[in-house]
Amino acid sequence: QVQLVESGGGSVQAGESLRLSCIVSGYTLNCMGWFRQAPGKEREGVAVIDSDGWTNYADSVKGRFTISKDNAKKTLSLQMSSLKPEDTAMYYCAGAAYLTGYCSLSRLGYSGNWGQGTQVTVSS
């Protein structure tokens, strides 16, 4: 059994920063990522990190967001800078323990474990 709990969301002005955290309890996950969903829009993969520290980002956040993990604390983070109103969404942490194959946002999107989400609102 695994549980993911997000925190760190809030309301900020455009250009400001936020840091999201996701605490994992249960078994170790080797593929973790962040997703977001805005009202009326489809869920979007934001960033992913594997057990070796390889990362990948959505084009819309490259250069502004940084995903990281602390294995000792079993915590996943997302540092978000230069926030834009279009970043407004519910942000979800997801993770999986894959025995074979590779880690990717697409794979995590349909086969990961999910947290309850944390709201990020960016006003102009």
Closest CA to 90 of 3, 16, 23, 10: 10
Give 22-32 pLDDT, tens digit per residue.
999 998 899 99
In this predicted structure, what is the pLDDT of residue 1? 86
User: What is the tens place of the pLDDT at every residue in 69-91?
Assistant: 998 999 999 999 999 999 999 99
Rounded mean pLDDT, 15-43: 96
